[in-house]
Amino acid sequence: MSQTIARPPDIHLGTDYIGRPTSRVDGPAKVTGAAKYAAEFNVPGRYYGVVVSSPVTKGKITKIHSAPVLALPGVVQVFSHENAPALASLDKSYKDDGALGGSPFRPLHAPRILFSQQPVALVVAETFELARYAAFILKIDYEAEPHATDLETQRDAGFEPGKGKFGFQPPPAPRGNAKQAYEQAPHRHEAEYTHLAQHSNPMETFATTVEWLGDGNKLNIYDKTQGAHNVQRYITKVFGLSKDEARVVSKYTGGGFGGGLRPQYQVFMAVLAALELKHSVRVSLTRQQMFSLGHRPHTLQYLRLAADDHGALQSVRHAALAETSQFENFTEDVVSWSGLLYQCENVKLDYRLARIDANSPIDMRAPGAATGSFALECAMDELAYKAGVDPLAFRLLNYAERDQNENKPFSSKKLRECYHQGAAKFGWENRNPAPRSTREGPLLVGYGMATGCWHASQQKAAAKARLTADGRLTVSSASNDIGTGTYTIMTQIAAQTLGLPLEAVTFVLGDTSLPEAPLQGGSWTAASVGTAVKNTCDELAKKLLGLAQKMDDSPLAGVGFEDVQFVDGQIRRNDDITQSVVIRDVLQASGEEKLEVESGATPDTAKQLPYSMHSHNAVFVEVKVDEDLGTVHVTRVVNAVAAGRILNPKTARSQVLGSVVWGIGMALMEESVMDHRIGRYMNHNFAEYHIPVMADIHDIDVVLVEEEDDIVNPLGVKGIGEVGLLGVAAAVANAVYHATGKRVRDLPVSIDKLL
Ligand code: MOS
């Protein structure tokens, strides 16, 4: 059985995949249309449900005129609070994994209207066109009450949220004396930074297709979500179903950005209709309705910073006031970064909420940090000017070697390398420090930079691995891939661990029939599911070695697991790689058809506890501003990111590229503008809610800074889905100041504010 390979051991063989730029394994399915999204499961004979949204912001429904709609041939039912079954309504324990403090909104529960565009009815018909028409003509009477939707008018109504969302920590206690240090310092800066609500607008709108299987209450629920198990837990609790009855499938997700961290109301409505009608039903939301699912909250941030004559930071005061709904406390970490990013002995941080008559906000990519880093990093730029220090030098001068919030060392922190490598690539040293100093024809040129950090976290996850006698490996875990590259990196990890070619490995996700994985969010999937896949494949490898050792004249007899390598389709002895067996032969020789292992990973909290674990970035931006028109072009961006080990530089780079595009949108375009007279977001469509298009995007350079970390998890992975967004909006705003001499502290930096 042993084979001789004439290859020296120091050459990387074919199955060394981790860290190699690898194209998406799900790419072909996506571009050929083979990848099915929630609204594409063509369950035969299905009904269509169309959601009716409230035009009233606050008040109650007094009458639903269903009869004329039900009289239309082909209309099946109108569901509303009048006829929705009581089951869910009485059960307060049905909180989802993303649940906030307070009581989650319960669709069709009561006549009460809590926010504009609240779903108030579901019209079900035999065709989509008929359902849409019937929903359009359905007359509903409301009794409107006065509403308050403007956070600006609620400045004095702020309260400390206490325990909010799962995992939320209130800001750390003050240290030193921020007020006194500020008053005594020679260089001081104080300002307010604001932004309105923003809505994550994934390309795929939220949709659910429920397949009624006719066997008791058995359902296949094809849902757009970031977590199949989370939706299953919610649905089983609300409708009193068993796990067997509610299988949730979410194989492909056309962008999530946080919107799918909670089960959204279309899944509730589709399941309700399917159970009541004993029939398959599809419910898809419109782009307009996407603006009713939760948003990055309108936030007002007060920053007060001071530095001494050498530019050393003396005082940090950061206070945020953010909107939340009348029924939940949406919390995010806006301010704590300001006690963490820089060395400072006098820090006071505050985070407060105020209620308005809108839906609860929801996490949106790098929640809290994206907006907190905008305010902090603009303020740092302003203080650097006042102190007469270059903005990059100012940050290096105040570099935090330790997490002062937690009083812990960092598990690793290559932010200094981000600064140096990013600045070198960008050409920061060519910057003339004076604002309005650089022109190119009619354009003012500006350079700006900023920085950010994000949690490196790991959650419990499980996985299953199955090797069949044909040499194929299938690994599965009910994770999700919201476009992040999960399919690909998990395939890489599995292939490398077992030494199999990538093509021989299939990774399966997005199905509650698979081992449980956490929601895809928080940039934790690579660390969480990746470690689970690694452990599971290691266990499979051990079993495989056991079988290999039982083969006749096995060259591996008596060696330990640590003494062999799984490479190139073989198990080989480390001390003599010519002593090997072919993996495919092992199963065949054993007579087994397959070898299967189910395992997983939990974070090593004892190892992690003494450390602060974060990813970091430094962003450098060049803008060109047309003074006459006020138009801003982000012509160059260098984003240097240190996020631990990079499993796949190609998909990782794409995550950062996407983050930069997001950041440019956040800086220059995105805002959900509410007309407070009617309490509704008025630009709830892609014509008026602007996001960058290709013409807005120019040169983006991603630097993936090498960083080793054996504390965060065995793979050394910190996650990269969110960190790249941090500081981008601030760097753009800082570059605009450098170009024009004008500070815009209210996002987006739009033409009207610049002129
Ligand atoms: Mo992300 S906001 O954790 O989906």
Give pLDDT tens digits for 84-121: 987 654 455 566 777 788 888 999 999 999 999 999 99
Q: What φ, ψ does residue 526 adopt, rounded to 5°?
A: -60, -45
Residue range 683-693, pLDDT digits in tens = 999 999 999 99
363 lines ligand 1 (CB under 6 A): yes
Residue 11 has pLDDT above 50, yes or no: no
- Using most ligand atoms within 8 A of CB, pick from 206, 331, 365, 484 the residue to mutate for ligand 1: 365
521 lines ligand 1 (CB under 6 A): yes
Task: Give me the number of domains the chain comprises.
Answer: 3
- Pair (217, 88) in one structural domain: yes
In terms of Cα–Cα distance, which of 670, 675, 672 is closest to 693? 670
- Pair (471, 617) in one structural domain: no
- Beta-strand runs (E) in 627-708: 632-642, 674-675, 680-681, 699-704
Closest ligand 1 atom to Cα of 364: 2
Distance, CA of 499 to CA of 504 (rounded, Å): 10
Contact residues for 576 (Cβ-Cβ < 8 A; gap 6+) = none
Provide the CA 336 distance to its chain's centre, in angstroms. Answer: 19
Q: Does some domain include residue 255? A: yes
Contact residues for 146 (Cβ-Cβ < 8 A; gap 6+) = 58
Task: Provide mean pLDDT across the span 700-726.
Answer: 98
Q: Is 318 helix (H, G, I), strand (E, B) or coil?
A: strand
Q: Does some domain include residue 155? A: no
Q: Which residue has the tokens 């159970």?
A: 275
Q: Does some domain include residue 697? A: yes
Distance, CA of 112 to CA of 566 (rounded, Å): 62
Q: Is 533 helix (H, G, I), strand (E, B) or coil?
A: helix
According to the model, what pLDDT value does residue 86 have? Answer: 74
- Pair (419, 484) in one structural domain: no
- Using most ligand atoms within 8 A of CB, pick from 168, 333, 363 the residue to mutate for ligand 1: 363
Distance, CA of 516 to CA of 523 (rounded, Å): 17
- For residue 76, the surrounding DSSP H or E stretch is strand 75-79
- For residue 54 the two structure tokens come to 């409230």
- Pair (211, 282) in one structural domain: yes
- For residue 672, the 8-state DSSP code is B
518 lines ligand 1 (CB under 6 A): no
**In contact, 599 and 539? CB cutoff 8 Å:** yes
Closest ligand 1 atom to Cα of 367: 2
Determine the distance separating the centroid of ligand 1 and the alpha carbon of 418, expressed in angstroms: 24
- Pair (549, 453) in one structural domain: no
361 lines ligand 1 (CB under 6 A): no
481 lines ligand 1 (CB under 6 A): no
In terms of Cα–Cα distance, which of 543, 719, 746 is closest to 646? 719
722 in active site: yes
- For residue 540 the two structure tokens come to 């499979």
Task: Provide mean pLDDT across the span 208-213.
Answer: 98
Residue range 404-418, pLDDT digits in tens = 999 999 999 999 999
Annotate 438-501 with DSSP letters as a single string.
-EETTEEEEEEEEEEEEE-----EEEEEEEETTS-EEEE-S---SSSSHHHHHHHHHHHHHT--
Distance, CA of 409 to CA of 424 (rounded, Å): 27
**In contact, 271 and 49? CB cutoff 8 Å:** no
Distance, CA of 326 to CA of 338 (rounded, Å): 28
Per the prediction, the chain carries an average pLDDT of 95
Closest ligand 1 atom to Cα of 363: 2
Q: Does some domain include residue 120? A: yes
Q: Does some domain include residue 273? A: yes
- Pair (540, 649) in one structural domain: no
In terms of Cα–Cα distance, which of 714, 460, 722, 718 is closest to 613? 718
Determine the distance separating the centroid of ligand 1 and the alpha carbon of 36, expressed in angstroms: 22
Mean pLDDT lowest among 7-21, 106-120, 633-647: 7-21
Q: What φ, ψ does residue 630 adopt, rounded to 5°?
A: 75, 10
362 lines ligand 1 (CB under 6 A): no
Residue 150 has pLDDT above 50, yes or no: yes
Q: Does some domain include residue 70? A: yes
Domain's final residue, options 602, 632, 654: 602
Determine the distance separating the centroid of ligand 1 and the alpha carbon of 725, expressed in angstroms: 12
**In contact, 455 and 168? CB cutoff 8 Å:** no
- Pair (712, 609) in one structural domain: yes
Residue 271 has pLDDT above 80, yes or no: yes
Determine the distance separating the centroid of ligand 1 and the alpha carbon of 505, expressed in angstroms: 28
Q: What is the CATH number of the domain that holds 488?
A: 3.30.365.10
Contact residues for 718 (Cβ-Cβ < 8 A; gap 6+) = 456, 523, 527, 613, 614, 615, 643, 644, 645, 707, 709, 712
According to the model, what pLDDT value does residue 102 have? Answer: 81
Determine the distance separating the centroid of ligand 1 and the alpha carbon of 520, expressed in angstroms: 7
Residue 29 has pLDDT above 90, yes or no: yes
- For residue 657, the surrounding DSSP H or E stretch is helix 649-668
- Using most ligand atoms within 8 A of CB, pick from 100, 198, 261 the residue to mutate for ligand 1: 261
Q: Does some domain include residue 428? A: yes
522 lines ligand 1 (CB under 6 A): yes
**Domain hosting residue 412, numbered range:** 386-457+605-755
Q: Is 574 helix (H, G, I), strand (E, B) or coil?
A: coil
Residue 6 pLDDT class (50, 70, 90 cuts):
very low
202 lines ligand 1 (CB under 6 A): no
Long-range contacts of 545-548 (CB under 8 A, 24+ apart): 545/571, 547/586, 547/587, 547/589, 547/590, 547/592, 547/595, 548/581, 548/586
Closest ligand 1 atom to Cα of 260: 4
Q: What is the CATH number of the domain that holds 235?
A: 3.90.1170.50
According to DSSP H, which parts of 300-455 are helical?
A: 369-387, 391-397, 415-426
According to the model, what pLDDT value does residue 104 have? Answer: 87
**In contact, 704 and 649? CB cutoff 8 Å:** yes
- Pair (629, 714) in one structural domain: yes
Mean pLDDT lowest among 11-20, 30-39, 41-50, 200-209: 11-20
According to the model, what pLDDT value does residue 167 have? Answer: 67
CA-based torsion, 624, 296, 289, 227: positive or negative: positive
Determine the distance separating the centroid of ligand 1 and the alpha carbon of 721, expressed in angstroms: 8
483 lines ligand 1 (CB under 6 A): no
Distance, CA of 174 to CA of 182 (rounded, Å): 14
Determine the distance separating the centroid of ligand 1 and the alpha carbon of 228, expressed in angstroms: 15
- Pair (17, 93) in one structural domain: no
Distance, CA of 711 to CA of 714 (rounded, Å): 7
| Of 204, 245, 622, 722, catalytic | 722
Residue 450 has pLDDT above 90, yes or no: yes
Instruction: Please tell me the total number of residues recorded for the chain in this structure.
Output: 755
In terms of Cα–Cα distance, which of 110, 192, 122 is closest to 151? 192
Contact residues for 561 (Cβ-Cβ < 8 A; gap 6+) = 541, 542, 545
Task: Provide mean pLDDT across the span 430-443.
Answer: 96
Q: Which residue has the tokens 């305010």?
A: 375
Atom 4 of ligand 1 has which residue's CA nearest to it? 258
Determine the distance separating the centroid of ligand 1 and the alpha carbon of 257, expressed in angstroms: 5
CA 543, 547, 552 angle in degrees (round to 5)?
A: 165
Domain's final residue, options 551, 567, 602: 602
**In contact, 499 and 568? CB cutoff 8 Å:** yes
Residue 533 pLDDT class (50, 70, 90 cuts):
very high
Domain's final residue, options 290, 322, 341: 290
172 lines ligand 1 (CB under 6 A): no
Q: Does some domain include residue 89? A: yes
Closest ligand 1 atom to Cα of 521: 3
- Pair (591, 696) in one structural domain: no
In terms of Cα–Cα distance, which of 442, 445, 517 is closest to 486? 517
Determine the distance separating the centroid of ligand 1 and the alpha carbon of 325, expressed in angstroms: 20
- Pair (584, 468) in one structural domain: yes
Residue 651 pLDDT class (50, 70, 90 cuts):
very high
Residue range 395-406, pLDDT digits in tens = 999 999 999 999
- Pair (453, 492) in one structural domain: no
Higher pLDDT, residue 3 or 561: 561
In terms of Cα–Cα distance, which of 31, 522, 488, 511 is closest to 257? 522
Pairing of strands 699-704, 632-642: parallel
Residue 9 has pLDDT above 50, yes or no: no
Mean pLDDT lowest among 1-5, 112-116, 210-214, 272-276: 1-5
Residue 5 has pLDDT above 50, yes or no: no
